[in-house]
Chain A
């Protein structure tokens, strides 16, 4: 599967410009993390990719043809988890997945449903009415319907919201496994989610792509811009961002990113999160 985003702009009818001139090729297999603060345009980009919206300008190609002309092919190969969604409360988990399997036209749906339930740890809730599920369980049902039938394109908008840390790790593994033969596009505002599994990160900020590359490249870009300082600065200093406060034996220290590290700071190796913060901070300064 091969998707190409070409100079896509998206302005909503209320005038809000969500995306400005986005371009990116997506090829399988890959696991792409789409990262950015809230309101950066992640959900909009995902809706464009699932043909829930049409771009104001530019185009998205599926293979060589415009996505819109291949909607049927797209729908047949798509697993999508939107950021917010509803489930039919009156159905049991199995009935709901059976409903979705029928919509997706999955042959041998029973086996596919059992597999999806097993992978999302829902097998024990098979006959439970959705009405009685917790928030995290509902989110898992949402993921289960997305991976149902092993689609070639998996688009997941903030999939791990509402899940406890242990479940998050499970799902990271699941997505990473799934990405072996398909495109998995995963949006999050928590860099930690994508750190260990993505082979590619796209950082969106205010509707433009700030970065598109491997995690290593992102870290490399922040090399020399991350440091530690021993104590809290007395007053707010211009020119750097605190990314973390750590309790150490010596007391509280701060991890900072800056274009130019202050002399009191001791340079350290950036983490992915540092790199991300550095990039965003740099952009916001502009």
Chain B
């Protein structure tokens, strides 16, 4: 009872303090920074939700946390500095009073955050229009901002209670802020405190993973700051003692350190057992974890899978039934691979439960499961469930397999425990009725087999290639058709985006690219067979794009409407989309590869990037193309030239693995995407201009030779030497 009355008067007092009002008003202003210069959520994708909800809320998170941490230091220090404590400490327990003081600051902060959410609501509604997402708005303010501000208050109070010095506490808090913003933790959602990791915001494909990781990390920080705060309560100075004696005396209230350590334990548990990112190495392993035995000991005739994703929790539950013939007369241990986030719930062989081993040896996206298969004909049933995990190498972008109400993306090992011997596979997938699944492989048909009474629909996939189901994307897709003289194309985009896409005449842009490439290089291989398919995949699954037979898959950020509507001077470049369509020529039509690719960067990416530049130049003008392509390549190449590790690669091995991987990855991609295009541009000048180069490229494209085009082939066709194309 008395605690509540302390809380009442403390809160009343805080609300009468001018400094509180200053902090509150500045906190209310902080989101404005998200409109003006603080853009952490739109570095990769300028979505409406990112621009108008996430950026302001993250700016508010940062500003509010700093302000309320400072307010906390001020309020806690002032009672000693101005000697109010000499009146109050003798009549109430300092522990109770300090607790109610901190709690009243938490209440005041909550009021400020709720006010901020209400204040910015009308403008946000106006800016986001049809893309308004109320759930995300609540998440941004109440799920990210509020807990972060709270943890700031608790940490500030804890530090002050330990040190009893404002400036030292402020220095420690600043160090924590700097650490949280440093590159060491930039890709680790759990370690970022004041700047939660929001690598993207999706307007059309949902934000479940960012919301889940955001809430999870906030809970972790709340736990840690609360435990530190609890631990600091015994340190409140008493009887004129210093830190040590006060703390020892305070710890006689054993429940304080006990609860603190329990919470710290929970925090560690949460850190170690986070369910979102797997524990693979960060560098992509070019070898698969799936062993390919040369002498098969068994055959798998068939697998039948039923998958039931739970889109609300982002998990799935599945059953895979394998028809196996074990050729040996004894048990055989076979290895299956599946997504690291799943667990096997049960394995039966001919109805009997059999043992299995989850090796938990995460590599890339998958881990191995060992199952002991009895001899003869076996019906093996594996039940599995869980949340698919993001590959550790992509932990900074949080992209990958996802089950969410708006979007589902599945790759090979995310469907079921995969095995490469499977002759024939069939998969039943039950999805919310508005989600329409499309496979990236044109020959994997996806058929609706039943409409269920619970608002779901069941789809069936029967791939022509054994148990390989390719990649599957499901969203509320509609198909926009484009016809040109030679080629027709169909573009699958979310229904919600249809109006915006039609307004910018996306079909015309596609047609332009298709016509440019057919006219300059010739018809692509898919033209005779049918349509080119373009699939828009959500940014929760990936950033960028890729191409397979007759299909180019591009992520949401590629299609961002601003790209197409903005004038040439201010626009983001549409190059990823053009790039991925061009891959139907360079890459799929003609592959470019070389034994020396690892060192000279020669690959399909070089010519694709060059062609993209040519199309952009034709559509948007020379100046735009120079700024968005050539200048970018040049600055990347210059960066590489000055890069210490590029010049002295022997030092690379001395770096920790994750940094070495990052450096190597960026060196490779700069070679492929910037250095090689610059060399082709140089060749263009040397052979006598664009028309000459187009002729040479057409010659290469229409050459009947099925081998990949090597760098030497290209040089021969140009009549140039390797030295002639060396960059200055």
* Complex alpha-carbon distance, A80 and B90, angstroms: 7
Give the residue among A13, A72, A90 with the most B Cβ atoms within 10 A.
A90
Which of A13, A85, A102 is close to B86, meaning CB atoms less than 8 Å apart? A85
Report if A103 contacts B (CB, 8 A).
yes
Instruction: Report yes or no: A103 in contact with B16, Cβ–Cβ below 8 A.
Output: no
Chain A residues whose CB sits within 8 angstroms of the CB of B84 once the complex forms: 85-88
Chain A residues whose CB sits within 8 angstroms of the CB of B83 once the complex forms: 82, 84-86
Which of B9, B18, B90, B242 is close to A99, meaning CB atoms less than 8 Å apart? B9
Report if A95 contacts B (CB, 8 A).
yes
Chain B residues whose CB sits within 8 angstroms of the CB of A102 once the complex forms: 5-6, 8-9
Which of A13, A72, A91, A103 is close to B88, meaning CB atoms less than 8 Å apart? A103
Given A82-B86, A85-B83, A51 and B9 contact (CB-CB distance below 8 Å): no
Report if B92 contacts A (CB, 8 A).
yes
Report if B447 contacts A (CB, 8 A).
no
Instruction: Report yes or no: B91 in contact with A103, Cβ–Cβ below 8 A.
Output: yes
* Complex alpha-carbon distance, A75 and B96, angstroms: 13
Chain B residues whose CB sits within 8 angstroms of the CB of A104 once the complex forms: 91-92
Beta-carbon nearest neighbor of A13 in chain B: B242
Instruction: Report yes or no: A53 in contact with B13, Cβ–Cβ below 8 A.
Output: no
Instruction: Report yes or no: B239 in contact with A52, Cβ–Cβ below 8 A.
Output: yes
Which of B82, B91, B240 is close to A86, meaning CB atoms less than 8 Å apart? B82
Report if A226 contacts B (CB, 8 A).
no
Instruction: Report yes or no: A52 in contact with B87, Cβ–Cβ below 8 A.
Output: no
Instruction: Report yes or no: A52 in contact with B240, Cβ–Cβ below 8 A.
Output: yes
Nearest CB on B from A105, distance (A): 5
Nearest CB on A from B546, distance (A): 62
Instruction: Report yes or no: B90 in contact with A103, Cβ–Cβ below 8 A.
Output: no
Report if A261 contacts B (CB, 8 A).
no
B window 91-134: CB within 8 A of A: 91-93, 97
B window 2-28: CB within 8 A of A: 2, 5-6, 8-9, 12-13, 16-18
Nearest CB on A from B464, distance (A): 77
Beta-carbon nearest neighbor of A53 in chain B: B240
Chain A residues whose CB sits within 8 angstroms of the CB of B383 once the complex forms: none
Instruction: Report yes or no: B87 in contact with A100, Cβ–Cβ below 8 A.
Output: yes
Report if B89 contacts A (CB, 8 A).
yes
Instruction: Report yes or no: B91 in contact with A75, Cβ–Cβ below 8 A.
Output: yes
The number of chain A residues with a CB under 8 A from chain B is 32
Beta-carbon nearest neighbor of A49 in chain B: B90
Instruction: Report yes or no: B86 in contact with A86, Cβ–Cβ below 8 A.
Output: yes
Beta-carbon nearest neighbor of B5 in chain A: A102
B window 474-512: CB within 8 A of A: none
Report if A120 contacts B (CB, 8 A).
no
* Complex alpha-carbon distance, A185 and B11, angstroms: 34
Given A52-B89, A52-B240, A87-B84, A103 and B9 contact (CB-CB distance below 8 Å): yes
Instruction: Report yes or no: A80 in contact with B91, Cβ–Cβ below 8 A.
Output: yes
Report if A145 contacts B (CB, 8 A).
yes
Q: Interface 1/0s, chain A 118-141, versus B by CB < 8 A?
A: 000000000000000000000000
Beta-carbon nearest neighbor of B82 in chain A: A86
* Complex alpha-carbon distance, A52 and B241, angstroms: 10
Q: How many A-B residue pairs have CB under 8 A?
A: 81
* Complex alpha-carbon distance, A248 and B536, angstroms: 109
Chain A residues whose CB sits within 8 angstroms of the CB of B86 once the complex forms: 52, 82, 84-86
Chain A residues whose CB sits within 8 angstroms of the CB of B241 once the complex forms: 54
Beta-carbon nearest neighbor of A149 in chain B: B91
Chain A residues whose CB sits within 8 angstroms of the CB of B240 once the complex forms: 12-13, 47, 52-54
Instruction: Report yes or no: B91 in contact with A54, Cβ–Cβ below 8 A.
Output: no
* Complex alpha-carbon distance, A54 and B240, angstroms: 8
Chain B residues whose CB sits within 8 angstroms of the CB of A98 once the complex forms: 9
Given A90-B13, A103-B6, A75 and B90 contact (CB-CB distance below 8 Å): yes
Report if A142 contacts B (CB, 8 A).
yes
Instruction: Report yes or no: B92 in contact with A103, Cβ–Cβ below 8 A.
Output: yes
Instruction: Report yes or no: A90 in contact with B90, Cβ–Cβ below 8 A.
Output: no
Beta-carbon nearest neighbor of A109 in chain B: B5
* Complex alpha-carbon distance, A53 and B88, angstroms: 14
* Complex alpha-carbon distance, A78 and B92, angstroms: 10
Instruction: Report yes or no: A85 in contact with B87, Cβ–Cβ below 8 A.
Output: yes
Chain A residues whose CB sits within 8 angstroms of the CB of B87 once the complex forms: 80-82, 85-87, 100, 142, 145
* Complex alpha-carbon distance, A181 and B90, angstroms: 22
Nearest CB on A from B325, distance (A): 79
Q: Interface 1/0s, chain A 67-78, versus B by CB < 8 A?
A: 000011001001
Give the residue among A52, A81, A102, A103 with the most B Cβ atoms within 10 A.
A103
Nearest CB on B from A131, distance (A): 10
Nearest CB on A from B482, distance (A): 68
Report if A256 contacts B (CB, 8 A).
no
Nearest CB on A from B10, distance (A): 8
Beta-carbon nearest neighbor of A106 in chain B: B5
Chain A residues whose CB sits within 8 angstroms of the CB of B89 once the complex forms: 52
Chain B residues whose CB sits within 8 angstroms of the CB of A78 once the complex forms: 90-91
Report if A19 contacts B (CB, 8 A).
no
B window 55-102: CB within 8 A of A: 79, 82-84, 86-93, 97
Nearest CB on B from A99, distance (A): 5
Instruction: Report yes or no: B90 in contact with A51, Cβ–Cβ below 8 A.
Output: yes
Chain A residues whose CB sits within 8 angstroms of the CB of B6 once the complex forms: 102-103
Given A84-B83, A86-B84, A51 and B239 contact (CB-CB distance below 8 Å): yes
Nearest CB on B from A60, distance (A): 12
A-B contact pairs, 18 of them (CB 8 A): A52-B89, A53-B240, A54-B240, A54-B241, A75-B92, A87-B84, A90-B13, A90-B18, A91-B13, A95-B13, A95-B16, A98-B9, A99-B13, A100-B88, A102-B5, A103-B88, A105-B5, A142-B87
Q: Known contacts A103-B92, A105-B5; can you find 15 more A-B pairs with CB under 8 A?
A: A13-B242, A53-B239, A53-B240, A71-B93, A75-B93, A80-B90, A84-B86, A85-B83, A86-B79, A88-B13, A90-B16, A95-B13, A99-B9, A99-B12, A102-B6
Using a CB–CB distance below 8 Å, which chain A residues touch chain B? Answer: 12-13, 47, 50-54, 71-72, 75, 78, 80-82, 84-88, 90-91, 95, 98-100, 102-105, 142, 145
